[in-house]
Every structure is written in C-alpha cells, then in structure tokens.
Amino acid sequence: MAYKTSLMVPKEKPRYNSICSDDELLDDEMDCYESISEKRGSWIDDLGSISTQNSIYLPTRGFVNAPPPREDPASTLIAVIKMGWLDKNPPQGSLIYQRRWVKLDAEYLRYFDTEKDIYSKRIIPTASITGVINVGDQKFEVVTHNRTFLFRAESDAERSEWVTVLRSCVGASRTQQSMDLTFNPCVTSEMKGYLELRGLRSKLYTVVCADKVFLYKSTEDYRLGIGITSIDMNVGNVKEVAGRAFDLTTPYRIFSFVADTEQLKDQWVEAMRDSIAEALSNYEVAERIWSLPANQICADCGTAKPEWAAINLGVVFCKRCAGEHRGLGPSVSKVRSLKMDKKVWTEDLIQLFFTLGNERANEFWAANVPPSEALMVSSSSEERRRFITAKYREGKYRRYHPLFGNQRELNNALCINVQSNDVCETLALVFCGADVNCDTDDPDLPCPIALAQYHGQNLQVEFLTQNRNTELPRSEVDVAIDTVHYMAPPSITHNGFLFKTGSMARPIAEKKGKEEFSRRWCVLNDGHFSYYESDKNATPNGGLKMKEIVCLAVNPPETHGYDHTFELYSDSERLYLFGTDNPEIAHEWVKSIAKSFIPVTAEVLLLKDFQRIGRLRYKDGLNLETSRLGWFCLVGSNLHICLEQQNRDETIDLQKLLELSIQPDNDVLVLVERGRTLYIEGERKLDFHGWATAIQRAAGSSGDTLSLQQLTEADIPVIVERCIHFTTQYGLTSEGIYRKSGVNSRIAALLEEFRRNARCVWLKEGEHQVDDVSNVLKRFFRDIEEGLFGQQADNWLSTTGFSDESMRISQYNLLFSNLPRVNQATLRALMNHLYCVQRFSDLNQMNLHNLAIVFGPTLFQTDGKDYNAGRVIEDLIQHYVTIFDVNEQQLKRQLDEITYIIKLRENLNPKAGPASGDFICTVYLEEKRETAEQHVKIPATMTAAELTFEILDRRKISVKEKDYWCCFEVNDKEETERPLHYQEKVLPIVHSLGTDSYLLLKKYFSMEAMLVYLASKVEVSKHGMMKFKEERNLLGLSTGSFHDRYFILTNTSLRLYKDVRSNRPEREWSIKCLKVYHGIKKKLRPPTCWGLTVVYESEKQEKQERQHWYLCCDTQTEMREWFATFMSIQNGGRVWPAEWLKSRSASRSAPLDSRFGNVSLIPLRGSENEMRNSVAAFTADPLALFRNA
C-alpha cells in the first residue's frame, strides 16, 4: 500500500461540536505519545520515528525479541468489527497526520502504530463515544465526552464504512456504568495508582482490574475512561526485580514497572499475580459452557464467544446483548458473567446450561421470530433493546404451551413435570404462566421445588430456584423501555446578553468580581446553548449541548460581582458561571435552560423555585443492586425528586433527616429518613460536590428562625427537644432550675455545637450540666429571629389587658392557631415542659411565677421591663390544659412518669460519684405491645435468667419445669431474634441494641428439642449442607443468591466448603466472633423459612468489622440442631440451667437493694417519646419495683 505517512494540511482551528470555551484553549488530542516525547525533548525530533515498528510511547528496551505472531488471545473472544489504516489528526500545533492501525470491536476502538502491535496507543470504550461525524475531505470525528478524535480515511467509501460501523456501536450499552473501560460493574479494581514505566519520565496511572491491567496517562483519563492500552493477564507473568522494580512479562512485551516504594511494589506484584490467577481461572466456566456448540454464539444476536448468561432464562449472550438484558432488570433476566461471577456457577447451574443452553432455550424463547425482527452481530443497540425486550419481557416470540391461560392446569402440569428430568418442559410451563411457588396439595412437599428435591431432580430445583421471583412475560408493557435516556423536551428558544467567566474544572470557592466576566451574546436553540462575541457574530465562541448539562445551580444574590448568577455543570465535569444584574433576565434564563434539559417526565420540578436542579444516580429501599437515574431539585430545605419510572415527585424534608453523611471512599451521600434510606451517588465529582454541599447546608440549622432549624418529626427544633428532654430527666429536682446561670463558656460552646448540627449533639449526664443545658434553651429562644411568638408578639402581650380570664384564654387560643406550624409545636412542647417543672416546685423552687419571670423576657425577647411578657407566660403555663387543649389523661401519665423518675433518683446515693451505669430498660412480655411493656432497672451484674425471673415474678407468672422462659433480643428490621443465654449479662446487650431492637421475654419452644438433641450427642459438633448467602457491602452491586455450601462446626470454628468433596475450606471463622440469630429478613428471599442470620464481629480492635451472612436449612429440625450446636459450643456445653426452678429462687433471694447503685436514666431508645415510652410501663404501678425492696 503506497501511502504517505505525513501530509500537510492548512492550519485551521479544530472544530468541536462539544463544549468549547473561548476562554480556554481545549487541549488538542492528548496522545500519550506526544506528552511523553515532549518530555524527552522536542517532539519534532521524534516525528521521524512515527512509522517505526515499535510502539513509541512504550520504551523499546523491554521488547521481547521475535514475538510469536499468534493471535491475541483476547481478540478471539471479542469479534473485531472493522480494522484498517487511518490517518489520525495531528497533535496540537502540528500539521502532520499520523498513520494508525485502527481496530474496532463491540467494546473498544483502539489504534496502534502497526497492524502487528498487540498493545494499543489509545483505547476508547465504544460506550464513551457520543457521536461520529462526517467532516469532509474523507475525514470523520469520533466524539467522546471530553475529547474529539479526528481520523481521515483513504477514500469516501472507506470513510462512510467507518462512520456506519462506528455509529452502530455508539449508544450500545451507553449506560454511565459502562463508561469505564472495566465494563462490568460487579468488578471493582483490585489496585490502582501511578507506576513508573522504565524509560518514561512520566508515570502512568495503572489499574489492575479483574483479569486485565489498564494503563492510562493520568487519573483524569482513567475517570473519563480513555486509556492507552489494556494488557490481558492470561498471558502475563510477574517477576520481581531488585528494589522497587518488577516486570510484567507477556509474549509480546516486557513492561518494566517501578513502584513508589518497596511496600507498594509488593502490593502491585500481588495484585497482578491475583489478576493472572483470575484470568486463568476465568476461562474455566466459560470453556465448559462453550463446550456445547449452541452456546458458542450469542442466543440473541449470534456474536461468537458470548461471555454472559441469564441464569434464570438458560441462555448465553454477548456483552452488547448483556447490556440490554440488564436493562430488563433482575426480575426478568438475572445477568451473570461466565468469567467474572465465578461463585455463581455451581455444578448444578453449569449442568442446567448443558440441559437448556441456547439451543433448547431458544426453541422456546425464539420459536416465532419473524426474519425482519431477528438480530444480527451488527445490530444497533436500539434494535437489540427492542428485540430483547420483546423476546424476554413480553414473550413475543415464545412457543406457547398448550395449557397457556389455564392456570390450574399449568400448575398441575408443573407439579408433575418437576418430578421428571425434563427441564425444557418446566421452562415452557413456567414462562407460560405456571406458578413456581404453587401449592402442591401435599403438606410434606408443599411447593414444586420441594417436590423436585424429593425426587432428586437437582436441575429442576436449580431452575425453579432461579425463577422463584421471576416476572412472567407480559405483552402489555406500561413502563418506558428506554430507561437510560429520556425524551427531549420540546425545543426551547431564548437569547440575550449574559456575562460569563471562563469555564472551570473545580468548584468556585471565591467571589468572582465583575472584571472576571465578559459580555456574551447567548443563544439557546434547538438543544444547544451557544455564546458569541456579540450578537453580530455568526460563529459561536463556544457552547454546550443541553443534554450535556447535568446540573443548574442558582446562586444566592450577590454571591459574585453580578447580583444574579447561575452555574451550569456539564457531564464532562466543567462548570460555567453566568451572571447579570437584572433579576428578571436571570430568572428567564434559568427557567429556559432548566426546561430544555429536564425531561418531560420530571417537568413537575420545573414549577418549583429551585436553587439547584439536575440529574443524579441513586439507590434506595429495595433497590440496592443497581443505581438508577433520578431528577432532583433543591428548594429551601426540601429536596424534590422525580425517580426513574415513577411519574410523581417525592419530597424529602432535609431538616428532618435522621442522618446525613458522605461516604468518603465512594462519594455517596447517604440520607436517612424515617422509613427509608437514599443513597445518592457521586457519578461525577464536580456537580456531586455542589449537590453534597448544598444538601448539607439545607439540612443543617440553616438560619436563625425557628422553621429553619433541624426539626423532629413533630416539627420541634431538635435543640429544643433535646434540652427539654435532658432537663426533664436530670433537672426537675435541681433547685432554681432555669434561674441559675450555668458556665458561660460551656453554654456558648454547646449552643454553637447545636447550631452547627443539632442532630449530632447528644446530651449526657456527667458530661453536660443541667444548668448549662437549661441556659442553652433559654439563650436559643432569646436569640431566635422573630422570636417564638413571631410577628404577632405584640398581640400576645396586649392580651394581658383583658381582665376577664376566659376572654384572655380564648384570645390566646386564637393567637396560637395563627402561629406557624413549627412555632405552634415548639410553644406547646415548651409549655408542657414548664407546666411539669412547676408541678414539682416543691423540689426545684420554680413555681409558676418564678418561671414566668424567667421565661417572659426570654420568649418575648424583651429587656425584662415589660411586665406583660411574664404575665403571658404565667397565663400559658397556668392554663396550659385549656389553651393547648391537652388530654388530661395523658398529662397525668406523664406526671406519673416524672414522679417515677424522681423517686428513682431519690434512691441514688448522691455522694456516690458519677453514675456507674445501671439502666432502665423496657422489656416486653410475650409480644411487643404497649400493655406488655415491663420497665426494669438493669444493673451491671444482671444475667438473662435474673431478668427473666424478675419479670415473671412481677407479673406473678408461675413457671413449670418445662416452660423454657427465655429473654430474646429481637430485631424487627432484620426480622431476627436471638435467645440470650441464661448466664449472659443483659447490660452489654442493652447497650448494643439499635433502635430496631428490643428485649422480649417469651417461652422458647425449641429448647426442649434442642436439649434432647444435645443429650444424644457424645461430642458436640455438626456438619452438613446449608444454603449460604453473604451480605456484601450495603452499596455493593450484587448480593448474590443463596448457594449450597458444606459447613463444619467444631468447638473452635465454623468452616465453609464449596462442597462435600472440597478438602480445603473456602472460609473459616472463629466461633467466638459469631452471633447467631433465628430468622432471615424476607427481603433476602431465603429459600426456606428455616434460616439463621449470623453476625460476624471481627476481633481486631482497630477496624471494627461487622458482616452478616445467612444460612438456610431445609427443615426445622436441621435448623434447631445447628442452633443447639452453636449455643452449646459457645457456652461450654451449658445451654439451660440444670436446676432451672432452683436457680429461680436463688435469684429471688438476692437483695434488690444491691441493685440500686447509681441509676442513670439515660434514654435507651432514641424516639422522640423515648422518655415516655421507657417509663410508661410503670405508670400503672410506678412503685412496683420498690415493693420487694
């Protein structure tokens, strides 16, 4: 091929269809080659070597002589769609084109120096290509989010062929996850960081990920997904060299790396060796599945060597089809990798794919595919999506079973068929509507799975288990199929002058003066926002596509030199700042821009007066597996959300969040609301940072008025509630409470702490002083803007002018009803508190009048001379019941509780020093009901047996020998419970209980059977199969399903084996670190109801680790035996006291007085009514505890 390696082209400004700012020169294509050679000297020196055979960016010294000209093993897996010579555009400043060998497969566009090269100069995931554009002269542009690659073909025909194939790849699996070179979201990189490559001055960002090593020029490139090359580790070998150096040898090249430290070198070597091991073993499953000829091509499009499978559908498919399968959701298609999800591939599952597999599964799924709809290797992602949705979600091409539509017959047929080995028939039945979980009418074998199991049909069991929760094909699909992108809203047009600064890659921290802005004529038209030097110019200086905008933020007035400014964030992580002094112009632009990038489905957000609007990925509730796209807007302290596939918006009141935190490792913002947790992911750094900051600010005490504080569910500022609460517990007997001044510096510090983040301030006796806290409350009210009574304060004050009491009351009533919501709730809570305080004035000397003198000026923020302020407060406290329409029954109950608290505290020895930690705890009897509450003081020495007897005694419950009363730790959220061992100390358990947990006393019905079982054993140990599931990281993408594993439990450890024949355990845990609970939460879909949840707490102090995993037994007996074995081993063989009833009387004779150490009435459960709840049980008979004393 006669070809000139360099051509002169006229110098012209490169053309970009993407962002291009006039204020900065976008880098030209930053090839690694250029930058590296630049550092070596002048890049021009190297021009002559462009056509040499060695790859220039890699040093030649590591080259292996005469590499075998065999095919790249990786390329056998992924079909090359097109390859050939192209000219690539010159680097910046140069006029000379570079000749490149370009190779395109479904995943990557790569170019090489020569056709023989194995390692590319540049690797661009097709998923990151946003457009392919013809630009004349046989040239075309490949556009990615941040960079445009210009190529030139030899002829127009060649050019149009490239453009066509490239376009067909564009948009294929264009989800954001696949932006990464490391397509599979289940795989996280094992190691990444900078490494020096011998011979190069600049370090390369190196990523070891699964079975590959990727080289990038920089972290920036890594994040954008554009790399230099990838190294398949199945041909790799790692050799340590002296010092910090090591070699990665492949048949084609030696990569001589130098790590920063020797320690890091060790880590790199280990990571790469792991990667090699993984690469080698990864082929095991794939090779086996491919041994069936039909499984060697994609079930949907025919691409060779498909590496993905739907384990519930029984088909194997290629990566591009896998993207569309994933889009169907796991309830339709459970997508797993043959190479990477190794653990999923049990022997049964592999056998199932021999039985079903592409050929037989397609006999069902693709029985009626019209040729016009069939996919080809080259089909576009649009076509794939349409076909795969029709095929599996709608069941459009399936072979209908003769019994279709007859549910009873289908179920019946299923029950019969699962006893045979005909899995294909089962597939047909299930996907034509037979119910996998149907009733068999056999109580011993209640479901088809049990039937199949009983008949030894493992593959049937496997298939049914995989489809336990599968959604049936249905043709009436009401959800939008295109979930990744959205409908472009109708075209919006707007134009005018705005002032603009240069775009930025980091958040704006400083005020931008007017001189930093330039006046630009801005045009919003047809989905483009462009800006021009003036309205006379025809060529824009730069601009943005609307679909590139991910966030629009409106700054508070006067943030910058121009009064009104707003920021646009692009998905390539640029920030654009615009400003104007005219509020209307700013408002118009904000509305127009928002309208043109917010999709129709989220347009309800446009009606809000937002400070920030845009798209983010999130996970929540039942959907922790995959993140979804949501449209968010922030209005004051409310975050409005339009979640994907939901046509309504939701609102989160950020000030009422229970928790708000950022997980720094993975840039996730965690918002915990009552009832749900939302995880917002930092998909891009720049706009995420903006969101996180804005949300945190909005969730804090964002202002000086009552309603801008962090609030409780009941709309009371958190600070008010916490102070009242503390004073009620510890201050009601304190003489002169609210009149005495605390320590000024401490008060100021505490108040500041509350202002910063009230939710995180926990008041504790010993740490905080009653007088400090009471003064914090007063100072809060004194400082609050507008005061508690708001703008109508004067009307309240003048009400005292009415001499008639009932007139005053009805006037207060009226004024109260006119107060804003938060003020109402706060005033009511405060008056309730003050009412209680004065009811105990014999102890604290703060009667009605004294309180009124203190609180009048405080609440009305007067100087103390207005006598009316005190009178209003006096009225409000005195007529508290009438004015606030209080339920007297409740009030009495509350006062009884306080009496109880005081009585308990009176029993303390005031000179005994700080509280030694007895706790008052609520224990439920038999079930969690208010009337079943028992209130018990738990001294440090109390055992579970003592607690049990105390409550039984108190309720006068007589106990028989075989009544195994036991105290359980119950967790409602996890749906688990654990019987405490009779000798177990209760107090540490009480301390560790979360808000979802409580103690419950009930008979332990399994105990008898467990004791019988243990008595029959000579040595306590157990082994056998259980179904096992591990809870990975809460945010992990896959929690997997239950798998059969073999377990051995000895008196030191629990060991897990892959199967019975394995001779080396996969995992081993020390028995001391395990806590075993009955039950598994239903959300995890345990295969049987005989489950155990095991909590592992690592012994290592420095890193508290808590893991959950789940064991599922086939029968109740099995489960009891495992549990009994655990209990016996963990308690040295003592599971139940030998002389149960005798131990009872022993406990009884223990003098109760000894337990009255220092009672610390720290609330145990963090609800707003914690005090009330925790003491409530006593109100019926508050003194019961003292009776035995």
In the complex, the residues that contact Zn ion under the rule CB under 5 A are 298, 300-301, 303, 317-318, 321
Rounded to 5°, the CA angle 804-807-813 comes to 145
Query: In terms of Cα–Cα distance, which of 85, 94, 92, 86 is closest to 9?
Result: 94
The nearer residue to Zn ion, 301 or 1000, going by C-beta atoms, is 301
| DSSP code of residue 1052 | S
Any idea which residue has 């969040």 for tokens? Answer: 657
SS3 769: coil
Rounded to 5°, the CA angle 1169-1171-1173 comes to 65
Please give the Cα distance from 413 to 428 (Å, whole number).
11
Kind and range of the H or E element at 325?
A: helix 319-328
Strands 494-500 and 575-580: antiparallel
Q: Provide the residue count of the chain.
A: 1189
Rounded (10°) CA dihedral 14, 17, 20, 26: -40
CB 458 within 8 A of CB 350: no
Please give the Cα distance from 969 to 987 (Å, whole number).
12
CA distances from 768 to 228, 407, 914, 915, 1125 (A): 59, 67, 12, 13, 46
Please give the Cα distance from 370 to 366 (Å, whole number).
9
Residues 6+ apart with CB under 8 A from 743: 769, 771, 772
Instruction: Please report, as a single letter, which amino acid is at residue 905.
Output: R
Residues 6+ apart with CB under 8 A from 820: 706, 707, 790
DSSP string, 238-304: EEE-STTEEEEE-SSBEEEEE-SSHHHHHHHHHHHHHHHHHHHHHHHHHHHHHTSGGGGB-TTT--B
CA distances from 1189 to 840, 920, 944 (A): 26, 17, 20
Strands 1067-1070 and 1074-1078: unpaired
Any idea which residue has 């075993």 for tokens? Answer: 1076
CB 17 within 8 A of CB 542: no
Strands 308-310 and 638-643: unpaired
Edge-to-edge order in the sheet of strand 139-144: 122-125, 108-112, 98-105, 80-88, 148-152, 139-144, 129-134
Strands 659-663 and 668-673: antiparallel
Neighbours of 666 (CB within 10 A): 12
The nearer residue to Zn ion, 300 or 874, going by C-beta atoms, is 300
The nearer residue to Zn ion, 317 or 855, going by C-beta atoms, is 317
CA distances from 586 to 160, 382, 554, 1141 (A): 44, 39, 9, 80
Query: In terms of Cα–Cα distance, which of 446, 131, 153, 171 is closest to 320?
Result: 171
Any idea which residue has 């264009």 for tokens? Answer: 174
Rounded (10°) CA dihedral 951, 954, 956, 962: 20
Q: List the beta strands (DSSP E) in 983-1105.
A: 997-1003, 1022-1030, 1043-1049, 1053-1057, 1067-1070, 1074-1078, 1090-1097
Instruction: Please report, as a single letter, which amino acid is at residue 61.
Output: R
Task: Please give the structure tokens belonging to residue 1074.
Answer: 């395990």
Rounded (10°) CA dihedral 758, 761, 762, 767: -140
Please give the Cα distance from 378 to 80 (Å, whole number).
11
